[in-house]
Amino acid sequence: MAPSRSIVWAPIPCLSSLFPMIGHFGITDSTGIIHDFGGDFYVNRSETHTIFGLPSLYSQLSETYWPTISDEEWDNAISMAMAQYQKKRYNFFTNNCHHFVAAVLNMLSSGEKRYTVPSLIKKFRLGKTVKKMPE
């Protein structure tokens, strides 16, 4: 199971081999269950994998950045984003897994910070918290 309150990354077959910076994002709830936007009207929910398989990297979101967010609030934000994205069509460029994770973080940030796809990728790929998934 993935660590709680984390962004997870899984390689996309073929595409990630050619462009290693491209991959699939998901976000975990307070118990470590992975949620990821997987296609038209579908949000995957799994204890172990994304729609592209097991995540290979994760970035646990520090409680210092989210000190006042309870587990219930965290999980409610994921549930609200899931309800929205289960009504949306998938588009590789304009409405994808990265947008789903950004939507959850924007719900949690109360307008203090606006998460975008580029800021999310930068935070994940350049952050010091990137680790391999526990075995």
Whether residue 126 has pLDDT greater than 60: no
pTM score, whole prediction: 0.87
Collapsed DSSP state (helix, strand, coil) of residue 27: strand
The CB density around residue 1, as the number of other CB atoms within 10 Å, is: 13
112 DSSP assignment = S
Let me know if residue 68 belongs to a domain.
yes
pLDDT of residue 63: 66
pLDDT of residue 27: 96
The whole-chain average pLDDT of the chain stands at: 86
**What distance, in Å, lies between the first and last C-alpha atoms of the chain?**
9
- Which of 19-28, 30-39, 42-51, 119-128 is least confident? 119-128
Q: What mean pLDDT do residues 33-58 have? A: 94
pLDDT of residue 102: 94
Let me know if residue 12 belongs to a domain.
yes
pLDDT of residue 111: 67
> Using an 8 Å Cβ cutoff, are 61 and 10 in contact?
no
Whether residue 44 has pLDDT greater than 50: yes
Tokens of 51: 């729609």
What is the count of structural domains for the chain?
1
Whether residue 5 has pLDDT greater than 80: yes
pLDDT of residue 101: 95
Let me know if residue 126 belongs to a domain.
yes
Domain range for 28? 6-132
- Distance, in Å, from the CA atom of 21 to the CA atom of 56, rounded to the nearest integer, reads 13
Let me know if residue 123 belongs to a domain.
yes
Instruction: Choose between 20 and 66: higher pLDDT.
Output: 20
Let me know if residue 1 belongs to a domain.
no
Let me know if residue 106 belongs to a domain.
yes
